[in-house]
Every structure is written in C-alpha cells, then in structure tokens.
C-alpha cells in the first residue's frame, strides 16, 4: 500500500510538472507575433495602376466645358473615335466629368480577374452620382496597360442646395466601382523557382531582424537564415524545399517572435494626439506648468431717469469686469529618474495638464535632454 501511494504521488508530481512545462511556452507564444504580421516577402507585392477616363450620364453635375478644357478635348476625341464629328464651338454639356481612375493590382493576379477601382473627379464637377465610367485603360509604372475599367460609379456622398442653403454629406466627387476592372496582363514571377527568399521588416530593427533569423534557423535546423541588416533577413531555400518556396514561406510565416521597438513619442500637433511607447524613460527633472489667463467681460448697463421726471435722459453706462487666473494652484512636480510610462502619465495628469500643454512639456523635456526617447512630430 505504501509503495502504491509513493508511485501515485510520483506520477501526480510528474503530470503537474508536464502541464506546467507545456503551458508556459504556450502562454509565451500567445504574447508573441507571427512573422507574417511583421514582414513582407520579396516578390509578393501589390502594384499600383492609374488611368484617365470620362464619366457620363450625370444629371447636370458634370464639368463645365468652358473651364475644364481637358474634359472638352477628351469628349471630342472620344466622339471622333466613334465616328462623330464634334469639332463645334457650340458644344455644351454638363453631363460629363473627367476623372482619375486608380486601382491596386494584387500579387499573382491572373488574366481575366476582376479588381475594384476608385474614381475621383479632377474638374469642377459637383458630383458623380448616377454616372457611368467609359472604357479606361489602366497603366502601371512601366507605362504598360494591365487592366481596363468600366462600369457604373457608386457614390456614398451627396450634395443638395436651395435658394438660401446647401448641404453636402461625404464626398460626392469620389466613388468606387466594385469589380470594375478586368486584368489584361499578368506580372510574371515564378516564386517556386527562387533559391533565396528575402524578408523585409515593416518596422526595421536590428534586434527584431536577428530574432527572426534565429527563429527560422531553430525551426529548419540549420544556418539557412541570416540577418543582413535591420530591415532584411535572407533565407537560402533548403534542399527539402527545393522548387517549393511556397511551402517554405507557409511554414516560416507561422513562426512567432517578439518584436523589439525603440523608445518613441509620436505627436500629432494638429489633433493633439500623443502616443508613447512602453520603453519611454526620463531622467530626474522638475516640471511646472501654468498659464496666465485674463478674462475681460463687457456688460452694458442702461441708466434712465425716474418716471415722469422732466430732467435727465436715458444713457448706456459701460461696465467692465476683469478676472486674472495665474494658475496659482499648480505646483512644481519632481519626476524621479527612470520613470515608467505609467508614472510619467500619472505625473503629468497630477499637474492637470491637457494634451496641448503635454505636447509642449514633452518638447521641453526633449530639449533639456531629459527625455530618453525619439520625439517624432507628424
């Protein structure tokens, strides 16, 4: 009986140890990021397309042919290609608008595939609602035609006006055509025949680049991956993945690493948005914040004589009230060295500062050399 209890206790202890050993890496893995979410694979990329076309069928909201000369010439050229002589000074219509057509060609898109296009007016058109885009060739950066767009334009915004008031919602001069372009030319790229796969980090960092290379080498069991710089990891395709780079990429992109980031404070002065990374630190510094506010209020007061009085007259007597707020309740706050992000925010909030004043304080800390982080203004 004692021997049985001893073995049961040993088995239970082993099971608990096994559960903890298996559970710990799982929790750590859940806190990491997949490689596919932080890198781009060389050759697997989108391509930008652009075209110039005409939208017709507008209900009087098109370009004015007198001011939009490019619309007039485009309309005349299109009609002449269709056998219509439109070289007339009296040509006048407000149902046509010149537009720019843009689209993104996904990687490995085959001929005949449909893609979405975006339409944007370039003249003085008031709206593209109800318009129809005519056949528009779409070219790439090399000048070759890769797709042709045509179809009805879907516009989410609208504009309406009366004699004394007008209202506009959204952007009526921009629209979209779902599956509005047909791919006519493919971009050749034999991914399975490559002998080297290069990974491009979306947020370049030496530490992250090295961690990715180490994770790949540990998975493949050999030194096939090398971090060449802070933005690139080069992988030699192993013999087991020869002529099957797709399988290699599929296996690699599921590996998890912990990205490293530099200490950075991003400030958008237009909107007052402040974003601080967790590694932001400051040296010992004293901060005081206060503003002198002067309020002047004018309240006119009417003075008039008593009823039935034959003397005096009604006059307006000015009354001025001046208030001065020196923010005397604000105190000098000392922030100790190696303050964390949470402590920094708590300290600034204790001063009662708003986002605008906080931007000035962060800029002053950087100028004083106390902010150990990169300050980026956008």
In whole angstroms, what is the distance from residue 17 CA to residue 368 CA? Answer: 52
Please indicate, yes or no, whether residues 218 and 291 belong to a single structural domain of this protein.
Answer: no
Kindly indicate the confidence band of residue 15, based on its pLDDT and cuts at 50, 70 and 90: very low
Query: Would residue 60 count as lying in a domain?
Result: yes
Average pLDDT over residues 132-141: 95
For residue 256, CA distances in Å to 31, 38, 193 come to 9, 10, 26
Note down the domain range covering 120: 47-159+166-183
Q: Which residues make Cβ contacts (< 8 Å) with residue 183, sequence separation at least 6?
A: 105, 109, 110, 111, 112, 113, 114, 115, 146, 147
Kindly indicate the confidence band of residue 369, based on its pLDDT and cuts at 50, 70 and 90: confident
Q: Does the pLDDT value for residue 38 go beyond 90?
A: yes
Query: Would residue 33 count as lying in a domain?
Result: no
Please indicate, yes or no, whether residues 252 and 270 belong to a single structural domain of this protein.
Answer: no
Please indicate, yes or no, whether residues 142 and 51 belong to a single structural domain of this protein.
Answer: yes
Average pLDDT over residues 362-371: 81
Please indicate, yes or no, whether residues 212 and 329 belong to a single structural domain of this protein.
Answer: no
Query: Would residue 42 count as lying in a domain?
Result: no
Number of domains in the chain: 3
Query: Would residue 27 count as lying in a domain?
Result: no
Higher pLDDT, 7 or 371: 371
Kindly indicate the confidence band of residue 138, based on its pLDDT and cuts at 50, 70 and 90: very high
Where residue 221 sits, what CATH number does that domain have? 3.30.310
pLDDT at res. 1: 45
Closest by Cα among 141, 48, 150 to 99: 150
Please indicate, yes or no, whether residues 144 and 213 belong to a single structural domain of this protein.
Answer: no
Please indicate, yes or no, whether residues 284 and 359 belong to a single structural domain of this protein.
Answer: yes
Query: Would residue 30 count as lying in a domain?
Result: no
Please indicate, yes or no, whether residues 178 and 194 belong to a single structural domain of this protein.
Answer: no
Tell me what percent of the residues of the chain surpass a pLDDT of 90: 38
pLDDT at res. 117: 97
Please indicate, yes or no, whether residues 290 and 177 belong to a single structural domain of this protein.
Answer: no
In whole angstroms, what is the distance from residue 64 CA to residue 134 CA? Answer: 19
Query: Would residue 37 count as lying in a domain?
Result: no
pLDDT at res. 28: 45
Query: Would residue 31 count as lying in a domain?
Result: no
Please indicate, yes or no, whether residues 145 and 202 belong to a single structural domain of this protein.
Answer: no
Please indicate, yes or no, whether residues 53 and 131 belong to a single structural domain of this protein.
Answer: yes
Q: Does the pLDDT value for residue 226 go beyond 90?
A: yes
Query: Would residue 294 count as lying in a domain?
Result: yes
pLDDT in tens, 243-283: 898 999 999 999 999 998 888 888 887 777 888 877 787 77
Cα 175 to its chain centre, rounded Å, is 20
pLDDT at res. 322: 59
The answer to whether the beta carbons of residues 153 and 125 sit under 8 Å apart is: no
pLDDT in tens, 308-319: 666 767 777 766
Please indicate, yes or no, whether residues 110 and 222 belong to a single structural domain of this protein.
Answer: no
Please indicate, yes or no, whether residues 154 and 57 belong to a single structural domain of this protein.
Answer: yes
Look at the pTM and tell me if it is higher than 0.75: no
Closest by Cα among 61, 52, 204, 209 to 125: 61
């Amino acid at each position: 009986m004692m021997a049985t209890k001893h073995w049961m206790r040993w088995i239970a202890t082993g099971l608990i140890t096994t559960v903890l050993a298996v559970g710990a890496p799982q929790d750590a893995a859940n806190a990491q990021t997949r490689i596919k979410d932080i890198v781009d694979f060389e050759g697997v990329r989108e391509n930008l397309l652009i075209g110039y076309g005409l939208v017709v069928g507008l209900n009087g909201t098109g370009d004015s042919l007198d001011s939009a000369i490019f619309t007039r010439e485009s309309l005349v050229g299109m009609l002449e290609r269709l056998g219509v002589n439109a070289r007339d000074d009296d040509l006048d219509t407000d149902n046509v608008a010149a537009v720019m057509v843009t689209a993104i060609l996904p990687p490995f898109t085959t001929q005949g595939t449909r893609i979405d296009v975006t339409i944007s007016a370039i003249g003085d058109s008031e709206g593209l609602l109800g318009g129809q885009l005519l056949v528009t060739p779409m070219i790439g950066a090399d000048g070759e035609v890769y797709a042709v767009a045509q179809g009805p334009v879907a516009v989410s915004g609208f504009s309406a006006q009366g004699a004394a008031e007008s209202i506009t919602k959204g952007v009526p001069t921009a629209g979209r055509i779902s599956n509005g372009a047909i791919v006519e030319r493919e971009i050749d790229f034999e991914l399975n025949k490559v002998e080297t796969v290069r990974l491009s980090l979306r947020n370049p960092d030496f530490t992250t680049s090295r961690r990715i290379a180490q994770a790949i080498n540990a998975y493949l069991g050999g030194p096939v991956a090398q971090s060449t710089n802070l933005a690139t990891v080069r992988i030699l395709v192993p013999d087991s993945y020869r002529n099957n780079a797709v399988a290699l990429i599929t296996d690699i992109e599921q590996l998890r690493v912990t990205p490293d980031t530099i200490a950075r404070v991003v400030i958008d002065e237009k909107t007052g948005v402040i974003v601080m990374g967790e590694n932001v630190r400051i040296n010992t510094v004293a901060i005081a914040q206060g503003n002198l506010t002067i309020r002047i209020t004018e309240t006119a007061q009417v003075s008039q004589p008593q009823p039935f009085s034959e003397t005096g007259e009604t006059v307006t007597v000015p009354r001025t009230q001046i208030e001065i707020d020196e923010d005397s309740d604000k105190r000098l706050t000392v922030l100790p060295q190696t303050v964390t992000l949470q402590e920094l925010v708590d300290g600034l909030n204790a001063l009662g500062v708003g986002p605008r004043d906080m931007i000035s304080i962060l800029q002053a800390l950087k100028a004083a050399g106390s902010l150990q982080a990169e300050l980026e203004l956008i």
